[in-house]
Amino acid sequence: TGRPHDLQPIWALAEAERYGATAVFLALEFDGAERKRMVADIEEGFSPVCMSARAEPLAA
């Protein structure tokens, strides 16, 4: 919800785990319109996971 000290996301996570969720999507975006666009993208099948160079092994 973007409000400081809001416990709703904690309860939402507990509920998701109760129904078998193994992953959650966290966003630090506070703009409501932008969050709705992000959710729409996920519902359309876009993956919010981004691989970076840091995800590559450091040693062979």
What was the pLDDT predicted at 24? 74
Query: What are the boundaries of each domain within the chain?
Result: 8-47
Task: Encode pLDDT of 9-60 as tens digits.
Answer: 788 888 988 999 877 777 777 888 988 888 888 888 887 666 556 555 555 5
The CA-atom distances, in angstroms, between 44 and each of 6, 8, 34, 48, 54 are 28, 25, 15, 11, 27
pTM of the model: 0.45
What six digits make up the tokens of 40?
A: 């729409």
Given this model, what pLDDT does residue 18 score?
Answer: 92
Place of tokens 């939402």: 12
